Amino acid sequence: MPTPQSLCLINNHFVPADSGNTFPVTDPATDKAIASVPDCGSAETWRAIEAAAAALPEWRTRPAPARARVLRTMGDLMLRDQDRLAAIMTAEQGKPLAEARGEIAYAASFLFFSAGEAERVYGQTVPASASDKRILVLKQPVGVAAAITPWNFPSAMITRKLGPALAAGCTIVIKPAEATPLSAFAIGEIAIEAGVPAGVVNIITGDPATIGREIFRHDAVRKVSFTGSTEVGKILMDQAANRIVKLSLELGGHAPFIVFDDADLDKAVAGLMANKFRNAGQTCICSNRVFVHERVFAEFAQRLRAQVAALKVGPGTHDGVQIGPLIDDAAVEKVASHVANAKSKGAKVTVGGDLVKVPDHANRFFAPTLIEDANPEMKCFSEETFGPVVPMMKFSTEREAIDLANDTPFGLAAYFYTSNASRLIRIAEALDYGVVGANDAAPSTAQAPFGGTKESGLGREGGHWGVEEYLETKYVSWGV
Ligand code: NAP
């Protein structure tokens, strides 16, 4: 792995924690430490916010095309360094190198798209009801933004916030996940090389509760964008109430995947394989409950069995590996407990179901697993598993499929396959989710609005909707 930066970024200086304390970053495939990073607290968080506040007046008034140029340069540099950044990501996160390269390109796409959007932040004029008045609607940056991001997409979840924030004219303080800070620091280095002025992008690591608390306490922070678990999202929403901080929450999912009897089964199997097993099933939009019409269930299960059993498990750095390690021991325990719970309720596990031993590596590799007779009583049908487990269940009517799919407090992503156009629009409208894949299991892209309903979150990232989250709407009533 290339030597990554391992210090925090405040005001364009890479700095240690005031105390000098650090915490280790480990490779999930081996459980060995690969770096140590600063364990910051209140004082450093405060300094990062003040740096962002000091940088705000110049950045927000810099012409949009000039801000856009900086973002495009950042995107170009990420692509230039794609292999280096992917190696850092695989080392700290575990995903196969090919997937990590893909994530770097995906992360850069948010910078490119945001650069374009920076130049399209349009205000409006509105016809007034008196001849001596004019109504102007201005779009202005909210101010200093803070981003709190998860470990499963260590680069893309940062640029999906940084890109639109800088495009809107905001400055930002980023707190990456403890497990994956090196990808964040690498983005910090790229920001400096791209010409991002001091204080516009700041990155700190340390105790999450302390950093989170300070972010909500400091008056300069006017926007917080969080991606992570619903549990932590609820804590942040509570904290945001104190100062009425604008909040975006991209939280957990529990995606249904429905296969109707008129579906193209080849496409449905391929879609499910790609969607479910990316990042070893550790994605917020991966399918967690698969509902297959009873007429095609046997055929679908048979095709799926063969493909799931053929997946190659191993360290992300090894050629051809499709399933890397889970992020930590707690993740392994959760996945194993979901499988054990399903078995205890009578489930038939037809593929996988246990850890795979990889010589000289940690016990973090869980076999791609197929449960063919799952039911809503099982934990895997009510909680996000976050692992390579496919629980399947039969259904017989369209109504039953919709009710099963919507029977969850989550509402992030849902998928279905059908070749009937009328059914397609009927189901798309009936699914209570923010993102619906209709004959498509890979909906994420920089230009589309991404986000959830119900306990999956608030707000949208991507497209002009993503930039809108960092803007205030100001109405100027102009007497002439
Ligand atoms: P997490 O435990 O909620 O952590 C997310 C981030 O919040 C991390 O940076 C974490 O820091 C920080 N954090 C934890 N406690 C905090 C607190 N009290 N105050 C402020 N920050 C705090 O989630 P995760 O395990 O990293 O990620 C997996 C979850 O993210 C899954 O539920 C997944 O569905 C969801 N996710 C959602 C989306 C989406 O777009 N909707 C995308 C990706 C992932 P530490 O790492 O230092 O603990």
60-64 mean pLDDT = 98
Q: Tell me what pLDDT residue 229 has.
A: 97
Q: Tell me what pLDDT residue 3 has.
A: 73
- Cβ pair 207, 36 in contact under 8 A: no
Q: Tell me what pLDDT residue 2 has.
A: 72
Q: How do residues 14-29 score in pLDDT, each as one tens digit?
A: 999 999 999 999 999 9
Is 284 among the residues known to form the active site? yes
102-130 mean pLDDT = 98
Beta bridge partners of 37: 23
Q: Pocket of ligand 1, candidates 45, 229, 231, 332: which has the most ligand atoms within 8 Å of its Cβ, to mutate?
A: 229
- Cβ pair 201, 171 in contact under 8 A: yes
Q: Which two tokens stand for residue 181?
A: 């800070």
- CA atoms within a 13 Å half-sphere pointing along the CA-CB vector of 39: 9
Q: 156 C-alpha to center of ligand 1: Å?
A: 14
Q: The sheet that has 349-351: what strands, in order across it? A: 349-351, 369-371, 389-395, 287-293, 255-259, 413-417, 435-438
Q: Does ligand 1 lie within 6 Å of residue 151's CB atom?
A: yes
Q: Which residue has the tokens 């890397």?
A: 324
Alpha-carbon dihedral sign for residues 113, 116, 119, 124: negative
Instruction: Say whether pLDDT at 362 is over 90.
Output: yes
Q: How confident is the model at residue 205 (pLDDT cuts 50, 70, 90)?
A: very high
Q: Does ligand 1 lie within 6 Å of residue 233's CB atom?
A: no
Beta bridge partners of 15: 8
3-state SS of the chain: helix, strand, coil percent to 5? 40, 25, 35
Is 250 among the residues known to form the active site? yes
Q: Does ligand 1 lie within 6 Å of residue 443's CB atom?
A: no
Beta bridge partners of 22: 38
Q: Which of 250, 384, 398, 455 is catalytic?
A: 250
Beta bridge partners of 413: 435
Q: Does ligand 1 lie within 6 Å of residue 216's CB atom?
A: no
Q: 227 C-alpha to center of ligand 1: Å?
A: 6
Q: Which residue has the tokens 């698969």?
A: 290
Identity at 439, one-letter amino acid code:
N
Q: 61-70, 375-384, 468-477: which range is least confident on average? A: 375-384
* C-alpha to C-alpha distance for 210 and 204, rounded to whole angstroms: 12
449-469 mean pLDDT = 98
Average pLDDT in the chain = 97
